[in-house]
Amino acid sequence: MRLSEVLKNMKPLQVIGDMDVEICGVNIDSRRIEKGHLFIAMKGTVVDGHKFIDKAIELGAQAILCEDMPQTCADGVTYIQVDATEDAAGKAATAFYGYPSTKLTLVGVTGTNGKTTIATLLYNMFRKMGHKCGLLSTVCNYIEDEAIPADHTTPDPIELNRLLARMVEAGCEYAFMECSSHAIAQKRISGLTFAGGLFTNLTRDHLDYHKTFENYRDAKKAFFDSLPKGAFAITNADDKNGMVMVQNTKATVKTYSTRSMADFKARIIECHFEGMYLDIDNHEVGVQFIGKFNVSNLLAVYGAAIMLGKQPEDVLLAMSTLHSVSGRLEPIHSPEGYTAIVDYAHTPDALENVLNAIHEVLNGKGHVITVCGAGGNRDKGKRPLMAQEAVKQSDKVIITSDNPRFEEPQDIINDMLAGLNAQQMKKVISIADRKEAIRTACMMARKGDVILIAGKGHEDYQEIKGVKHHFDDKEVVREVFNA
């Protein structure tokens, strides 16, 4: 493809060289550059790609897209200067890969909690309805049945457009995608055309990156601000930021709620650990999920399917067959009659939601033992809040390691314990070794009790000092149960 075609949707500040050269690849990672590629020098949060321009040229880069022009320019290489390579990268990638998001129906899901569940359920539902679909999520990316491991909630703009192009090539009609606040703020989704967007909820998270809650909120809102006129925007009317998200959107706005008037409404008729009976828009349906927050997730899925042209009866029939996403309120029953529940909850709000769901089913019968930690090198402010939330709704709490990353596990545990008073500490013990913490919880449990193992969910690793070691909460639980 000619360079001029790749860059036709942007206005360069300066061009040095030939814009009609042929480009056979686009990359933001200089290590992946091959002969004939366009290298985009991104000013990242950790590393400035401008430092690797010479390396990219050595490897055969035909063109350089940058914010700062080098002092000397290599012969035979085209240099294009733009205001922001962060924004330009997505536009260049989507042009190079043939505007894949315009060739299928792309729906984005954003919010603090529920993104993975909603995107995955939409993917599974539409496949059950006979459509070829793609999924871009925290757990795994899928092109129909083909699983592609996910390193980030939302891939970088090059990988994202490459995956979408592969979905188009595979005949996918729909793609469902998680849109993280990082991805929106870093313009990873720049240049994509969305048919619709869904907002789940907004609670404290990622303040290590966004610095303030307002910045975090505005990053989410920017997604809806950018939706085109023909798209739909479905928002959670039960969240205080729900209507803020859509106040400036050009898209058609629809609401969902479990508490008030809305376009899509639901209530719980009956619940147990294997599922619930719901009333959704005056239709009864049995689902294999528990918890009020999952009612909201299912309502978002229902609303999106309706906005995508599906009939209510067909949507509810498909919904009744859907299963929970891996590591999301996933129950494992012990031979001794107690239940372990593995969940990804890693924010105070998510922990509150999961514990509420457990108590809704227990209804005062049985004790709750919670095992939880907090991630290293992330928002430290939520650590004491996590401990407080766990203690508030548990009979016993074991504070342990999550992914300590480059921090000392005990330092993270101490930050969590700092949020508790002397009375609360009577419920709490700390065990830095996560495997030992889970084993201890299982030894404490009696028939009818529930152990919540929170924080890692689907993850099958523990990240320590920059190295990912194999670790799976579910495997540890099953080892204990089979011992």
Written as six digits, the tokens of 331 are 């129950």
Q: Is the pLDDT of residue 319 over 70?
A: yes
Give me the pLDDT at residue 221, please. 93
What average pLDDT score do residues 237-265 get? 96
The residues, ordered by sequence, that sit 6+ positions from 468 with a Cβ below 8 Å of its Cβ are: 461, 462
pLDDT band at 149 (very low <50, low <70, confident <90, very high): confident
Residue 81 has pLDDT above 50, yes or no: yes
* pLDDT for residue 187: 85
Compute the average pLDDT of residues 307-329.
Answer: 94
- Does this model's pTM top 0.85? My answer is no
Q: CA nearest 410: which of 464, 341, 351?
A: 464
Quick check: 167 pLDDT over 70?
A: yes
CB atoms within 10 A of CB 60: 15
Is the pLDDT assigned to residue 274 strictly greater than 90? no
- How do strand 368-372 and strand 339-343 relate by DSSP bridges? unpaired
Measure Cα distances from 218 to 197, 240, 268 in Å. 15, 14, 32
Q: How far is CA 140 from CA 90, 109, 147, in A?
A: 21, 15, 7
Contacts for 481 with CB less than 8 Å, ≥ 6 apart: 332, 334, 335, 340, 442
- Phi and psi for 223 in degrees, rounded to 5? -60, -45
Read off the amino acid at residue 135: L
Give the DSSP H or E segment for 164.
helix 157-169
Q: Which residue has the tokens 């000619």?
A: 2
pLDDT for 206 equals 47
Give me the helices (H) in 252-395, please.
Answer: 292-307, 312-319, 348-362, 382-392
pLDDT at 205 over 70: no
Backbone angles phi, psi at 106, to 5 degrees: -105, 125
Average pLDDT rounded to a whole number, residues 294-298: 96
Q: How many CB atoms lie within 10 A of CB 159?
A: 21
Q: How far apart are CA 171 and CA 163, in angstroms?
A: 13
Query: What is the structure's pLDDT at 483?
Result: 74
Rounded to an integer, what distance in angstroms lies between the CA atom of residue 322 and that of residue 344? Answer: 19
Structure tokens at 90: 């997505």
